[in-house]
Structure formats: structure tokens, C-alpha cells
């Protein structure tokens, strides 16, 4: 039986009276891309720290390929790209890459690392003199240096412009899929998570509130959208009076209604003879599900408190 790339079993982390991570359990199989998402303060960074062995759980256990995170057998298969990294002074990019390669038995070649990260032209520049986005691409090369089976990346595209982010994800997808590697990432760019992840784990206040494929997460949110073009005789008052409307967004004459019962909304539009055309029903984006699930979780907590 193949060991899970990441195994998190009933993990909690307390800082005095604060429970930053609260009884989290999940398993990530090899070859999977998982996005760990959540609002600020959800516990993502704390959980990543425990997965990497940088801190120990107060309760529960973490294993990478069946080993504790600090075990050499786990570390040699791990590549890491953290959000905040200090690069050494007076060291060129190519020297830093070669230094990291020296830590591993079967490293990726230096030219290939520089090419994948898109920094061949920066090889002779001092690492600390790179721009923020260039430093992130260098960190990407360093994370891949050991030809890892598992990559853990915390906000990997911070500081990158749009073009650099696109190139980064293209390189990363190829690296992960070509070698059947596993990727766990956190990001505030939800459209990035939607474009690369096979699975989403959503945290809030240290707890897992949703876990599944993109389709599962969207279905769990219960969000559907009815979009149409409103004619001159269709008023905002008529739209607001439609049944089962959670939210309405306007962009000129284009209307987007959030609802959990799109059939009822469409039926009402037809029966009430609203001046509308070009209808479309969709499930929405990951960002819509993210907002809906975190708001739903807050509502459930408030309801429990009232009881």
C-alpha cells in the first residue's frame, strides 16, 4: 500500500488560550495538487509549519510518506517555498542554486532549474539585488533543486506580476504532472487555486469547514447564478422581488443573481413577463463558493451561540 504523501491526524495547535488549529484531519495522496485556503487568521500558516516539522502539534500527528516531518526520509523528498525568506548576502543566483543542489543525492541540473524558474538571465546577479518577483522565482528554483516528490508552497506568487505568475504556474504544472509529484499550496489568489488544484481544503478559525474537488466545494456552497440582459422595461424593483434571490450584481444592463434555486428564479421571470433575454445558469467561481461557505460557517456559529 502506498503511503499518503501527507497525513494529518487530529492535529491541534494551541498558543496559550488560543487554539490556532483545531482537530484537523486530512490525507493527500501522491500525484495530487491541493489548495489549502481560508481567510486571514484561519490557521493555514500554522498548519503548514507543522506539516514541515518547523513546529510540533499540541495534539495529533503529521506524517510525510509515512515518516515524521523531521525524519531524513521525509526531508529528502520535500521541496519548500515559504512566504517570507531571507536570502544570503554576496551570493550570486547560480552559486545559491548550486549550493542547494549539493544537499541532495539526485538533484535537478542547475541549467534546468534556472530555465524552469525563468531566471537564466539572472544567473550572475547577486540574489539580494533581485526584485521581489525575481526572488520568488529564485525560491521556486531552490524548492525544486532536490527533485522533490512533495512540494509545499505558501503564497508562492506573492510579489509577481501577472505575466510572471502565468509563467510560474505553467512551469509548476509541468514539473508536478511530469513527475507524478504532490503539491500543497496556499494562496489568496483564488483564481490561481481554481486553475491548478485537484482538491480544495477550506479552513476557518483553525477548523476544516469544506474539503473536496472544485465541483464538490461549489456544490457544497449551494451557489448558483442566473445571468441575463435586462431590457428597458425591467426594473431593479422587479428583480429584487424575485423569489430565492440571495444577491444581485449589475453591470450596465447585465444582471447576475445569486440563488440556491435557479429554476424558481427563471420560472418567476417568465411568469411575471420581465423584459429579459440571453439567460445563463452557472455554478460560479471558487471565489463565490469561498465567500458563501465562510459566511455560512459564521452564521452556523452565531446560531449555535444564540441557542
Q: Give backbone dihedrals phi and psi of 14, rounded to 5 degrees, phi first.
A: -115, 140
Closest among 101, 92, 156, 102 to 127, alpha carbons compared: 92
Q: Which residues pair with 81 in a beta bridge?
A: 153
Q: How confident is the model at residue 304, as a pLDDT? A: 35
Task: Give all strands of the β-sheet with 59-64 in edge-to-edge order.
Answer: 18-28, 6-15, 59-64
Q: Is the dihedral of CA 183, 184, 189, 191 positive or negative?
A: positive
CA dist., res. 136 & res. 159, Å (int): 7
Q: How confident is the model at residue 1, as a pLDDT? A: 59
Q: pLDDT tens per residue, the chain (307 residues)?
A: 568 999 999 999 999 889 999 999 999 999 999 999 999 889 999 999 999 999 999 999 999 999 999 999 999 999 999 988 888 889 999 999 999 999 999 999 999 999 999 999 999 999 999 998 999 999 999 999 999 999 999 999 988 888 888 889 988 888 888 888 999 999 888 888 888 999 999 999 999 999 988 888 877 777 788 999 999 999 999 999 999 998 899 999 999 998 888 999 999 999 999 999 999 988 777 887 888 788 754 443 433 332 3
Q: How confident is the model at residue 302, as a pLDDT? A: 38
Largest CA-CA distance found in the chain, in angstroms, rounded:
73
User: What CATH code is assigned to 6-218?
Assistant: 3.40.50.300
Strand, coil or helix: what is 152?
Answer: strand
Asked if 111 and 39 count as a contact pair (C-beta separation under 8 A), the reply is no
For 222-303, which CATH class?
alpha beta
Classify burial at 164, counting beta carbons within 10 Å of its beta carbon; exposed 0-12, middle 13-18, buried 19 or more. Answer: middle
Asked if 275 and 230 count as a contact pair (C-beta separation under 8 A), the reply is yes
Sketch the domain layout of the chain as residue ranges.
6-218, 222-303
Q: Global pTM?
A: 0.79
Q: How confident is the model at residue 296, as a pLDDT? A: 53
Amino acid at each position: 500500500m502506498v503511503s499518503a504523501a501527507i497525513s494529518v491526524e487530529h492535529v491541534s495547535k494551541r498558543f496559550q488560550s488560543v487554539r490556532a488549529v483545531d482537530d484537523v484531519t486530512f490525507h493527500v495522496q501522491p500525484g495530487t495538487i491541493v489548495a489549502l485556503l481560508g481567510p486571514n487568521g484561519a490557521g493555514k500558516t500554522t498548519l503548514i509549519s507543522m506539516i514541515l516539522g518547523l513546529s510540533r502539534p499540541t495534539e495529533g500527528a503529521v506524517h510525510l510518506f509515512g515518516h515524521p516531518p523531521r525524519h531524513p526520509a521525509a526531508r529528502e523528498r520535500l521541496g519548500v517555498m515559504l512566504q517570507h525568506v531571507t536570502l544570503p548576502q554576496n551570493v550570486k543566483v547560480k552559486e545559491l542554486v548550486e549550493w542547494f543542489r549539493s544537499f541532495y543525492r539526485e538533484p535537478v541540473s542547475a541549467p534546468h532549474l534556472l530555465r524552469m524558474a525563468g531566471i537564466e538571465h539572472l544567473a550572475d546577479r547577486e540574489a539580494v539585488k533581485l526584485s521581489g518577483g525575481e526572488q520568488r522565482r529564485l525560491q521556486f528554483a531552490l524548492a525544486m533543486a532536490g527533485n522533490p516528490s512533495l512540494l509545499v508552497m505558501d503564497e508562492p506568487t506573492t510579489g509577481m506580476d501577472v505575466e510572471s505568475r502565468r509563467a510560474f504556474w505553467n512551469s509548476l504544472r509541468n514539473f508536478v504532472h511530469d513527475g507524478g509529484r504532490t503539491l500543497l499550496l496556499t494562496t489568496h489568489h483564488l483564481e490561481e487555486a481554481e486553475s491548478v488544484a485537484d482538491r480544495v481544503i477550506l479552513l476557518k478559525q483553525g477548523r476544516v469547514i469544506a474539503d473536496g474537488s472544485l465541483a464538490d466545494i461549489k456544490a457544497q456552497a449551494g451557489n448558483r447564478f442566473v445571468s441575463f440582459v435586462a431590457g428597458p422595461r425591467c426594473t431593479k424593483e422587479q428583480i429584487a422581488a424575485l423569489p430565492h434571490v440571495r444577491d444581485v450584481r449589475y453591470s450596465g444592463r447585465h444582471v447576475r443573481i445569486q440563488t440556491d434555486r435557479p429554476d424558481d428564479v427563471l420560472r418567476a421571470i417568465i411568469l411575471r413577463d420581465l423584459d429579459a433575454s440571453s439567460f445563463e445558469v452557472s455554478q460560479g467561481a471558487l471565489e463565490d463558493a469561498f465567500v458563501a461557505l465562510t459566511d455560512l460557517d459564521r452564521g452556523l456559529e452565531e446560531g449555535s451561540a444564540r441557542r
